[in-house]
A and B are shown apart, each in its own frame.
Chain A
């Protein structure tokens, strides 16, 4: 009887040790196994955001790209949508949480309002909370001011020859 108890105790301790070891090591496991092939199944709660984009004159603007940037910051592809002829947009399939909305229409001179260099200090990014199975109806979002364009060239100091392929950086002063 005592021998059986000792064997049982030995196996139980062994099992606990293996489980604990797995749990500890899990933190250092670098890769998650590949998902099974087939359509992607979402198991998280999803919601959406809708709204309208207007310019400085209060007119709706079509063809504007609206991005829902997760906040606090998070990696991954950012969900976006475009505005229709009435300036209306709808972004679907957003995970529940907080988002900051940025807008851009580069071809018309409106840079991305999430760009710190362009928008810092004078363009506000609306903050929206998305709830499960609901489309949050946000009001109007303003485009930023039209961006200016700085054109110039870089020349070698002595020879005054043009230098190609420079990576120039600009900073606020």
Chain B
């Protein structure tokens, strides 16, 4: 037992040292060494993250070794091209007489080494994904998907040097600016038959036409009064469920696509003939880590047991751009 406690202390001290955020370029690496009781194992993991501005242009990767005393137990490596963390984890048999160590090396891999998408023309909503070996002499392949007709593209007009590139709608997407409707569906709760509106949106840039961002985006909600769109409120009272409806906190959404559920809430029986929330203003906000926030879209919301309206509208057509 004493050995185990000593090990835990050593592992803890090791963890403290390694958990210090080690900056290499713009990466942050966090490591963990802990005891996993259900299988009597040691649980080691490594997480390397980069901020939004970095992962627009780079993929994050890491590699390294798991040590037991001075012996390498295994090596690890991970890469993420979609703006999420590079993550590795492994379990090892627990040895009460051993010291466990993680040695990790973060790495950034350039996605883009050329100008914005001005080297070829935009043919009907093409989405391009390019991959190549490193170092790159020519792309392994260019894969085009889109709703337009087949066209010939002169390969030499595409500048070489890109390892990974995120193109949407024919060009490299700029920073998040506003949103585009993907789908807008209203159904009815099975119990109280109140409307439930599911609005899925895509974050796009400020280009005309707008390009969808090709990376993960952090989004949060903030509520304001209708009287003063700068007077923030922490929540709105729903008379349907006698509880506060509060704004959602900052969370990462895959490739800038996110869903907002709108619902006044379903009360227990007897269901009142009418209930809801007072009108309020919702702002969807891009909340990048360590950067200023930016409002992508704002609207007046009216959620009741009879209807769910945003700026007076009960339904948006797919493709509608909202600011």
Interface size class on chain B is 35 or more
Separation in Å of the B227 CB from the closest CB of chain A?
Answer: 10
- Of all chain B residues, the one with the shortest Cβ separation from A88 is B87
B49 at the interface (CB under 8 A from A): no
Is A81 located at the chain interface by the 8 A CB criterion?
yes
The CA of A74 and the CA of B238, in the complex, are separated in Å by 12
Contact check, B234 vs A77: say whether CB atoms are below 8 A apart.
Answer: no
| Known A-B contacts A30-B236, A65-B254, A167-B315; A114 and B182 likewise in contact (beta carbons under 8 Å) | no
Partner of B259, one of A28, A29, A73, A80: A80
The interface residues of chain B lying within 8 Å CB-to-CB of A69 are 261
Report B163 CB to chain A, min CB distance, Å.
16
Q: Are A33 and B234 in contact, with the CB atoms below 8 A?
A: yes
Give residues 160-199 of B contacting A (CB, 8 Å): 182-183, 185, 187, 189, 191, 196, 198
Closest to A31 in B: B233
**CB < 8 Å: which of A30, A33, A82, A115 contacts B255?**
A82
Separation of A84 and B231 alpha carbons in the complex (Å):
41
Could you tell me which residues of chain A, from 105 to 130, have a CB within 8 Å of some CB in chain B?
106-107, 112, 114-117
Given A72-B266, A78-B261, A167-B315, answer yes or no on A107-B84 (Cβ-Cβ < 8 Å). Answer: no
Cβ distance A107 to chain B, nearest Cβ, rounded Å: 6
Q: Once the chains are docked, how many angstroms separate the CA of A42 from the CA of B246? A: 13
In the complex formed, the residue of B with least CB distance to A40 is B249
Interface set, chain A 16-35, CB cutoff 8 A to B: 27-35
Decide yes or no whether B306 CB sits under 8 A from chain A: no
Known: A30-B236, A34-B231, A115-B185. 17 other contacts (CB 8 A): A31-B225, A31-B278, A32-B237, A33-B234, A63-B255, A69-B261, A73-B263, A73-B266, A74-B265, A75-B303, A77-B221, A77-B248, A77-B253, A82-B254, A107-B145, A114-B198, A115-B183
**Residue pair A74, B263 in contact (C-beta under 8 Å):** yes
How far does the Cβ of A64 sit from chain B's closest Cβ, in whole Å? 9
Question: Is B200 part of the binding interface, using a Cβ–Cβ cutoff of 8 Å?
Answer: yes
Cβ contact of B254, chosen from A75, A76, A81, cutoff 8 A: A81
Q: Nearest 10 CB-CB pairs, A to B? A: A32-B235, A82-B254, A77-B248, A32-B234, A34-B232, A78-B259, A30-B278, A75-B263, A31-B233, A40-B249
**A106 to nearest B CB, angstroms?**
7
User: What B residues does A40 contact at CB under 8 A?
Assistant: 220, 249-250
Bound complex: CA A101 to CA B280 (Å):
30
Q: Is B251 an interface residue (CB 8 A)?
A: yes
Taking a contact as CB atoms under 8 Å apart, the answer to whether B185 and A116 are in contact is yes
Given A32-B235, A106-B182, A107-B145: A76 touches B250 (CB 8 Å cut-off):
no
B263, A112: Cβ atoms under 8 Å?
Answer: no
Given contacts A73-B196, A107-B127, contact A80 B253 (CB under 8 A): yes
Residues from chain B with Cβ under 8 Å of A117 in the complex: 185
Minimum Cβ distance to chain B for residue A84 (Å): 7
Q: Is the CB of B258 within 8 A of A78?
A: yes
A77 CA to B231 CA, complexed, in Å: 21
- Which residues of B have CB within 8 Å of A77? 219-221, 248, 251, 253, 258-261
A79 at the A/B interface (Cβ < 8 Å)? yes
The answer to whether the Cβ of B21 comes within 8 Å of any Cβ in the partner chain is no
B54 on interface, CB distance cutoff 8 Å: no
Q: Does B242 contact A (CB under 8 A)?
A: yes
- B257 contacts which chain A residues (CB < 8 A)? 65, 80
Alpha-carbon distance A73/B264, docked complex (angstroms)? 10
With a cutoff of 8 Å between Cβ atoms, the chain B residues found around residue A81 in the complex are 84, 252, 254
Does A28 lie within 8 Å of B263, measured CB to CB? no
Contact A31 B315 (CB under 8 A): no
Complex Cα distance, B262 from A40, in Å, reads 22
